[in-house]
Amino acid sequence: MKKLAVVAFGGNALLRGDQKGTIDEQEANAYTTAEHMLKLLNRDYNLVITHGNGPQVGNLLLNNIAGHKMHNLPEMPLDVCVAYSQGFIGYVIEQQLKNVLRAHDMDRDVITIITDVLVNKDDPAFENPTKPIGPFYTKEEADRIAGETKSVFAADPRGRGYRKVVASPQPLVISNVKTIEKIARGGQIIIAVGGGGIPVFYVEQNKTQGIDAVIDKDLASALLASQINADKFFIMTDVPKVCLHYNTPKEQAITRMTIAEAKRYLAEGHFADGSMGPKVRAAIYFVEHSGKDTIITRTDLLGVDDGGTRITLV
């Protein structure tokens, strides 16, 4: 029986910080990313792919605002923008992965599942929104919009202005997990939980609706991996290994660490919240709930022996 792996890509797997965001750029990046997936397929893994959507959903929000200002089009809420991004990113990954598979005479279906994720509307995160989204505004613009819409804005640490901030609640339940696991274990490739999933809550018994929030995509991916009984969880980043004293003369790459060590390093402040911190927390979650390993690494090191940092139970 083949092993099942969940591979979590960042939004920069398709769109990088120095690029304009054209579809040609995103397709080329997706093709390169898809080629690296072959190493896992050749090691007899069945695959579930998850992905970030930060750059893409930011662009959607800008389009939203421009359409409203110029043509009085209704602005779509954040949960709908996440759904938009799941669809188009899934399409791009599907297309390029199929192109790579055909180039290597491999026959697999690739299926994107639009995925909502249940959160608790009483999660403390809603009392302290911290996740910045959308464009930068002046203080005067931010104050005006906040007064009109009850949105919350925060100053950018780099002094670039003010941005809207939303809650990042804990993911509780991933939709369609039984179907995701069944199809993936049947040998087809699934793309799910894009952008951390579409955040929904129970507005009343047996009725869900979207909510203005962003779910951490690595934590949602870890929850999915544990719920579908994955054998391994890969978290992609832009460095080959997790490091202590990152970007200092004392920098030290870690090849292997237990979850106890990972928790200690987190407490010591080695992994920043806006960088490696969420990935290490997601790794800990999966290992604790499954007993299986998580590997944090760069895309080109997928499936390479000793590639990346392995997080283990003991």
Segment 267-289 shows an average pLDDT of 93
Residue ranges per structural domain of the chain: 1-115+172-230
pLDDT band of residue 11 (cuts 50, 70, 90) is: low
**In this predicted structure, what is the pLDDT of residue 287?**
98
pLDDT band of residue 240 (cuts 50, 70, 90) is: very high
**In this predicted structure, what is the pLDDT of residue 122?**
96
pLDDT band of residue 47 (cuts 50, 70, 90) is: very high
pLDDT band of residue 255 (cuts 50, 70, 90) is: very high
Question: What residue type is 208 in one-letter code?
Answer: T
CB 49 within 8 A of CB 93: yes
Segment 119-143 shows an average pLDDT of 90
Q: Could you tell me the pTM of the whole model?
A: 0.91
Beta strand pairing status for 45-51 and 189-191?
A: parallel
Name the most confidently modeled range: 62-71, 127-136, 237-246, 298-307: 237-246
Angle value at C-alpha 260, between 258 and 265, nearest 5 degrees: 95
Q: Is the pLDDT of residue 121 over 90?
A: yes
% residues pLDDT > 70 (the chain): 99
**In this predicted structure, what is the pLDDT of residue 307?**
87
Name the most confidently modeled range: 142-146, 188-192, 275-279: 188-192
Give the span between the Cα atoms of 69 and 82, in whole angstroms.
21
Give the residues across from 189 on adjacent strands: 110
Q: Is the pLDDT of residue 43 over 80?
A: yes
pLDDT in tens, 170-209: 999 999 999 999 999 999 999 999 999 999 999 999 999 9
Those residues with Cβ within 8 angstroms of residue 152's Cβ, 6 or more apart along the chain or in another chain: 129, 146, 164, 165, 166
Q: Is the pLDDT of residue 162 over 70?
A: yes
- Which residue shows structure tokens 């793309």? 191
Segment 242-258 shows an average pLDDT of 95
Give the span between the Cα atoms of 253 and 261, in whole angstroms.
14
Kindly report the average pLDDT of the chain as a whole number.
92
Residues with a known catalytic role = 11-12, 131, 217, 279
% residues pLDDT > 90 (the chain): 72
Give the span between the Cα atoms of 133 and 64, in whole angstroms.
13
pLDDT band of residue 104 (cuts 50, 70, 90) is: very high
**In this predicted structure, what is the pLDDT of residue 136?**
83
**What is the per-residue DSSP string for 208-257?**
EEE-SB---HHHHHHHHHHHTT-SEEEEEESSSS-EESTTSTT-EE-SEE
Give the span between the Cα atoms of 283 and 257, in whole angstroms.
11
Sheet holding 45-51, edge to edge: 110-112, 189-191, 45-51, 3-9, 232-237, 294-298, 309-312, 256-258
Beta strand pairing status for 116-118 and 173-174?
A: antiparallel
Segment 232-243 shows an average pLDDT of 94
Segment 266-290 shows an average pLDDT of 93
Q: Is the pLDDT of residue 12 over 70?
A: no
CATH architecture of 1-115+172-230: 3-Layer(aba) Sandwich (3.40)
CB 302 within 8 A of CB 234: yes
CA-CA-CA-CA torsion for 303, 197, 176, 76, nearest 10 degrees?
Answer: -140
- Start-to-end CA distance of the chain, whole Å, equals 26
**In this predicted structure, what is the pLDDT of residue 111?**
98
CB 123 within 8 A of CB 170: yes
